[in-house]
Amino acid sequence: MPMKQVFDVIGVPTDTSAHITGKAFIPFYFGPDIARSEAFYRGEGQLTFIRTSMGSSTLLLHDIHVNPAESGYAH
């Protein structure tokens, strides 16, 4: 599910964070998971989105981490 659709369904997060992964440094690698973005929800947990391919701006939901003790801010 795309990030925009997730935010439309469950609301905007308390905080977000983004970073590139090691795959971004592999020569001639044009596959998925070169960048990740996390959305933090206070008292709920964290959602992780991955970039679908090099040059793409589409981020798709990859992981859901339920954590009732989540502070809601990037670590």
Q: How many domains does the chain have?
A: 1
* Predicted pLDDT at 54: 67
- Residue 48 located in a structural domain: yes
C-beta separation of 42 from 71 below 8 A: yes
Percent share of the chain, pLDDT over 70: 96
- Residue 15 located in a structural domain: yes
- Residue 71 located in a structural domain: no
Of the candidates 54, 68, 64, 65, which has an alpha carbon nearest to the alpha carbon of residue 1?
Answer: 64
CA dihedral 18, 23, 26, 32 (to 10 degrees): -100
Q: Look up residue 59 and give its amino acid.
A: L
- Residue 34 located in a structural domain: yes
Total-model pTM:
0.85
* Predicted pLDDT at 41: 96
